[in-house]
Structure 1
Amino acid sequence: MGNDRRTIAGVACGIGAGALWGLVFLAPELVREFSALQLTVGRYLFYGLFSAFLIAPVWRTLARKLGRREWIALGWLALAGNTLYYILLSSSVRLGGIAMTSLIIGFLPVAVTIIGSRDQGAVPLRRLIPSLTLSALGAVCIGWQALAGPASGAVTKQVIGLLCGMGALVSWTCYAVGNSRWLARLEHVSAHEWNLLTGAVTGAQALLLIPFALVLSTASHTTLAWTKLAGVSAGVAILASMLGNSLWNRMSKLLPLTLVGQMILFETLFALLYGFLWEQRWPTALECVAFTLVVLSVVSCLAAHAKSHARPTTEPIRSCSSANA
């Protein structure tokens, strides 16, 4: 019964995180006059500022709990899951469109679940094959129209957008796996505190990127445009980075890595939903099929984990890679 409650709570957190993270696909469309680097710097400056403000009262106590390894981990997790990932994602959306980018990011569950299946106590990969198959089919359906239809721009732009999307896929896969495993190790640091620490480190990285953003910018912008960028950046920082990451970290402490991977699908689903609202259209038949496949993928993965929990064990299964704790 306890495992069931943890699973339900974890899935709810995963859905919430996906709903908030889906907003990041819209941000590049809202401020197209600015580069991906400028948008990344803006978002993570606000994320770092908000995180530093919230963590300030407990900073001294929290800092004593962290050693050199933890700070190194925060550095590369902030880079892989935030700074580098969002530069690549924004570039992919601009060059290839939301649908193509969603297709590529839609393969995240497959990558994370395959890696997580090697953890001690994880559900065997053979039992996850139906879920992975449905996930892959859903991802293919999501982006099929964008890839099969006429290109919206030059072929070179499409190829670069595809490569940026693939880079974002690799970057966030590394983050998802590494972050889950670190959260499993850090029993003395809460998921919320880890999120704020990640935000503070990401903000520091954004500060280092400001000179590059200024040097590489060739266009001039009005005061209204800069205000719009600040508003979008602050909104994405609060909703996606602060609240979304907090829900994701909470979920990562409740669910095993094989199930964590499936939860990423909700980001893709909500990104598409927001895209339909932005484009003011209904989903096509193929997109409806994709929605159905994705939902069935998550349901089948939940069923596989429920069967695993039902089996008697001599020791409770720890979430998120207890083997590497």
Structure 2
Amino acid sequence: MQAPSHSPNRIPLGMACGIGAGALWGLVFLAPALGRDFAPLELAIGRYLAYGMMSALWLAPRWRGVMGLIGAADWWTLTKLGLLGNTLYYILLSGGVQQGGIAMTSLVIGFLPVVVSLVGSRDHGAVPLRRLWPSLLLSLGGMGCMAWQAFYGGVDHDSKTALSSLLGFGCALGALASWSAFAVSNSRSLARLSHVSSQDWNLLLGLATGAQAALLLPMALAFAPVQHDMAQWSRLAALSGAVALLASIMGNWLWNRMCRLLPLTLSGQMIMAETFFALLYGFLWEARWPARVEVLAMVLLIAGVSSCVWAHRRQQA
């Protein structure tokens, strides 16, 4: 199958979709802080049960037509993607936020563009890695600034135990690995299944992830460390529904649309939008202005994305 062409006039639309997805996905970093009464597994189950039910309702009028577009092997792919990009990823992300904070978790996951660009540089028609090194170096510099701020200059850092910070950092690294594998596999699956629309693929992914959440629900209820009252369960239901609609339905659709407009090396860079918005929401939640080193990190990240865009426009020209 011939690789799809990525003409220059598709890049602005693809970038707009990527920024929109990042703005919506940044909200998922706030959810674990808002739902701190619940364990990461409970937060993930709540979000993806809602995602699965919304997906089923959306697909119901066109059920037979959509089911005829995919086979058994595609369902297996959806199951793996649901685990990597949704269930496992969100459990680890929630653990990172609750143990290490929003800023630390978002900066670690922000390394995703570097990982995806390194993998995508080997794809057919991709920009060579030698043209991406300025973007990668700028991105690494920005991530290094945020890492320093999170571990040595963060607000109320002394109140966190070393074990909690270490556990949060480990969860964030696991989330980075899980989402990196998802980003690469999902982009290639979309390219292979060109007859399935971006939204239908997103809704099918919601069905697969919702089924995983339903299977995990009995275990979560049986081993729940804390008993919750009705008000807490109601808050979790509202939070899960909001995150499922905004991040899983709308955010994923924008991301899948972007994946069909941009090459993998550039689409990987667009995940930085999620990092920026996650930091912005974190600053608003903590009611503080970013520190100087955090501002420097943002400048470096913007320069890194701009450098990557320039490399792709030069490649197309």
Shared fold per TM-score greater than 0.5 = yes
- Residue 221 of structure 1 deviates from its aligned partner by 1.4
The residue type equivalent to 1:227 in the other structure is S
Match of 1:27 among 31, 43, 63: 31
The residue type equivalent to 2:259 in the other structure is S
In 1, the alpha carbon distance for the partners of 2:291 and 2:164 equals 25
Q: Which residue of 1 aligns with 2:175?
A: 168
**Misfit runs of 4+, over 3 Å:** 149-152
Q: Which residue of 2 aligns with 1:298?
A: 305
Q: Which residue of 1 aligns with 2:240?
A: 233
Q: Which residue of 2 aligns with 1:120?
A: 124
In 1, the alpha carbon distance for the partners of 2:104 and 2:271 equals 16
Instruction: Say yes or no: does 1:270 pair with 2:277.
Output: yes
Q: Can you give the 5+ residue segments of structure 1 that lack an aligned partner in the other structure?
A: 311-325
Cα offsets for 1:110-167 (capped at 9, x unmatched): 0000000000110000100000111111112123222124454222222121111111
**Further displaced range: 3-12 or 74-83:** 3-12
In 1, the alpha carbon distance for the partners of 2:235 and 2:215 equals 23
In 2, the alpha carbon distance for the partners of 1:96 and 1:84 equals 18
Aligned-residue Cα RMSD (Å) equals: 1.0
Match of 1:158 among 165, 170, 185: 165
Q: Which residue of 2 aligns with 1:189?
A: 196
**Further displaced range: 25-34 or 55-64:** 55-64
Q: Can you give the 5+ residue segments of structure 2 that lack an aligned partner in the other structure?
A: 1-5
Match of 1:5 among 9, 12, 18: 9
When normalised by structure 1's length, the TM-score is 0.93
Name the CA shift for 1:151/1:96 in 2 (closer, same or farther; >3 Å).
Answer: farther
The residue type equivalent to 1:168 in the other structure is A
Matches within 5 A, 1:304-319: 304-310=311-317
Q: Is the 8 A contact 1:107 1:136 kept in 2?
A: yes
Q: Which residue of 2 aligns with 1:144?
A: 148
Q: Which residue of 1 aligns with 2:87?
A: 83
Q: Is the 8 A contact 1:102 1:142 kept in 2?
A: no
- Residue 232 of structure 1 deviates from its aligned partner by 0.7
What is the percent sequence identity of the aligned residues? 57
Q: Secondary structure at the match of 1:254?
A: coil
Cα offsets for 1:232-286 (capped at 9, x unmatched): 1100000000000000000000000000110000000000000111111111111
- Residue 68 of structure 1 deviates from its aligned partner by 1.9
Q: Which residue of 2 aligns with 1:99?
A: 103
Match of 1:256 among 260, 263, 279: 263
- Residue 222 of structure 1 deviates from its aligned partner by 1.8
The residue type equivalent to 1:92 in the other structure is G
Q: Is the 8 A contact 1:13 1:248 kept in 2?
A: yes
